[in-house]
Chains A and B, each alone.
Chain A
Amino acid sequence: MEAPDIIEKLRAEFGDAILQADVEAVDPFAVVQAERVHDIIQYLRDADDLMFDYLMSISGVDYQGIVEGDPLGVVYHLYSYQHRHTFVIKAQVPRDDPHCPTVSDLYGAANWQEREAFDLFGIVFDGHKDLRRILLPPQWEGHPMRKDWQEPETILGISTVRKSLRERLAEKNNG
């Protein structure tokens, strides 16, 4: 099924929950209300003529400077082995309290990818059974893929600042 038809079906089913859709974009997408993500993706997976059975990727995105209000985003790339079509769903969540429903009960692949988005962006996926850091160590503070993340001077006791050669030589000669 082509992208305009998919968007039409989504609009008929969910109405106001589809905030924006773009079929002219490089990859057609629909922006949806974050609270309805689970229902929409479940519909996309189960409807007979859609059957998006392969969740290609869940990407966290920081829309600072791109979308008004500097929200965080979650982007779902979906594909159907049955019908060989693809579609992109985007949701935006506020930066100070990012919450999004989980889809890990629909796709096994969502489990780790949501953990990754939580780890790097701090997006909380409500209903996820095991939401903890995956790539970074558990003691890590903050979410480094956010644009407003500031690198601290030490991370887990290791300095992130490299002194200049002159300073290091001076220290070596003095000490």
Chain B
Amino acid sequence: MVDELRPEIPAGVLVEDGEMVLNMGPHHPSTHGVIRLILTMDGEVIHTVTPDIGYLHRAIEKIAEKTPYYTFMPFTDRIDYLGAMFMNHGYAMAVEKLAGIEVPRRAEYLRVLADELNRMASHLIFMGTMTMDIGAYTPFLHALREREKINDIIEALCGARLTYNYIRVGGVSFDLPPGLTGQILDFLDGYEVFLDEFDRLITYNEIFVKRVANVGIIPADMAISYGLVGPNLRASGVDYDVRRDAPYSVYPELNFDVITGDDKYGSVGDAFNRLRVRIAETAQSARLIRQVLQKMPTGPIMGKLPRKLKLDPGKDAFSRVESSRGDTLFYIVAGGGNSPHRLRVRTGSFTALSVVPEIGQGVMVADLVAIFASTDVIAPETDR
């Protein structure tokens, strides 16, 4: 009877004598969606971590093969619902590169504006949930309060608060409404005050720093080998940002700093640096938004598009976009018809999760929660 009730241990997990198996997830508050981590443990110390993913697999890549190029855009929102704007942008860039479509300059500026607002919103969610997973509830509410203001701005821009479908192939769907510039500037002014408050409340709080510093250190060579991207990579000390080093859109015309991890508190590549890098990035995003609002030219927001895309079968192109979870690659192989023959999306969460088994060995369960939270993995992006 007892044996019947015992949950099945999936293939790939080897249990040795004296080890206990613990299922963390699929419905665990700190797994941000449905991800299952199968832990083999000796007491409180973890021997192996085996992630089991796919609970949120919606076959988005297969849907793309049956959907016309332009019509597929709303599906890209669902790849990463916290950073939907980047997925719009990446897919649009891949199609534009493939078909040679020109994008008007005003649309490019609006794209960067939307991207950076979305980056702030996504990092705010991260700042909130990371601290909440560690056990501090108040900063979560502070972060979400600020995010709400961004949601209001984006709602005024495109009518949606989460799955935007704003960036389209060839441009963007709506122009900046009158009066929104003032609202954005007001928000940015308030954001500086918020960041200062947040830093004093939690980031450099001694208890918090002791809890996350030196936890889950990812050395730079491991980060590169495992294909970690974005803030996770930069926290490990690799000075790389797609926006600066493989530039797209109008990023070359704008000034911003690339933030990397340091060992002022803790050491390079630990959970604390992954949080600190993201917090500092939101300040850079604010800087970018101010420049965009200043420099934005007038003009059309939508380029000239053919009614139907006719591409040579087998022609392919890929695009890279720096999403809030790092370098995201869209790879399209064109078929004879009006829809992609194959769409591939390589997301930042997918590779970030694959490094967890490596760094999760020998740590305590409570530290695994901190490591997992600090990598900013979200389930829809790993599973697609």
Instruction: Tell me the A residues contacting B by CB distance below 8 Å.
Output: 25-27, 53-57, 59, 61-63, 65-67, 75, 77, 81, 84, 86, 88, 107-109, 111-113, 120, 130, 132-138, 144-145
Q: Which residues of B contact A75 (CB under 8 A)?
A: 316, 331, 344
Q: How many residues of B contact A (CB 8 A)?
A: 45
Q: Which residues of B contact A84 (CB under 8 A)?
A: 245-246
Helix, strand, loop or mixed for chain A's interface?
loop
The answer to whether A108 and B316 touch across the interface, beta carbons within 8 angstroms, is no
Which B-chain residue is minimally distant from A130 (CB atoms)? B12
The answer to whether A108 and B354 touch across the interface, beta carbons within 8 angstroms, is yes
The answer to whether A137 and B54 touch across the interface, beta carbons within 8 angstroms, is yes
Residue in contact with A27 in the complex, picked from B226, B313, B317, CB distance below 8 Å: B317
Q: Known interface pairs A26-B97, A107-B225. Does A66 touch B331 (Cβ–Cβ under 8 Å)?
A: no
Task: List 5 additional A-B contacts (Cβ < 8 Å) besides A56-B320, A84-B246.
Answer: A27-B316, A55-B227, A56-B327, A107-B227, A136-B54
The answer to whether B54 and A65 touch across the interface, beta carbons within 8 angstroms, is no
Which B-chain residue is minimally distant from A63 (CB atoms)? B314
Residue in contact with B224 in the complex, picked from A25, A53, A88, CB distance below 8 Å: A53
Instruction: Tell me the B residues contacting A by CB distance below 8 Å.
Output: 10-12, 53-54, 57, 59, 61-62, 97-98, 222, 224-227, 238, 240, 245-246, 313-318, 320, 327, 329, 331, 333, 335-336, 341-342, 344, 346, 350-351, 353-355, 358, 383-384
The answer to whether B98 and A26 touch across the interface, beta carbons within 8 angstroms, is yes
* 9 residue pairs, one from A and one from B, having the closest CB atoms: A109-B227, A108-B226, A57-B346, A59-B344, A135-B54, A26-B317, A108-B225, A66-B314, A112-B354
The answer to whether B342 and A61 touch across the interface, beta carbons within 8 angstroms, is yes
The answer to whether A109 and B351 touch across the interface, beta carbons within 8 angstroms, is yes
Q: Known interface pairs A57-B346, A144-B62. Does A138 touch B10 (Cβ–Cβ under 8 Å)?
A: yes
The answer to whether A56 and B346 touch across the interface, beta carbons within 8 angstroms, is yes
The answer to whether A54 and B314 touch across the interface, beta carbons within 8 angstroms, is no
Complex formed: what's the CA distance from A161 to B316 in Å? 34
Q: Which residues of B contact A138 (CB under 8 A)?
A: 10-11
Q: Known interface pairs A75-B331, A108-B355, A109-B227. Does A132 touch B11 (Cβ–Cβ under 8 Å)?
A: yes
Complex formed: what's the CA distance from A57 to B97 in Å? 18
Which B-chain residue is minimally distant from A106 (CB atoms)? B225
* Closest CB in chain A relative to B45 CB, distance in Å: 23
Residue in contact with B336 in the complex, picked from A63, A65, A88, A136, CB distance below 8 Å: A65
Q: Which residues of B contact A132 (CB under 8 A)?
A: 11-12
The answer to whether B227 and A61 touch across the interface, beta carbons within 8 angstroms, is no
Q: Known interface pairs A54-B227, A65-B335, A145-B62. Does A26 touch B315 (Cβ–Cβ under 8 Å)?
A: yes
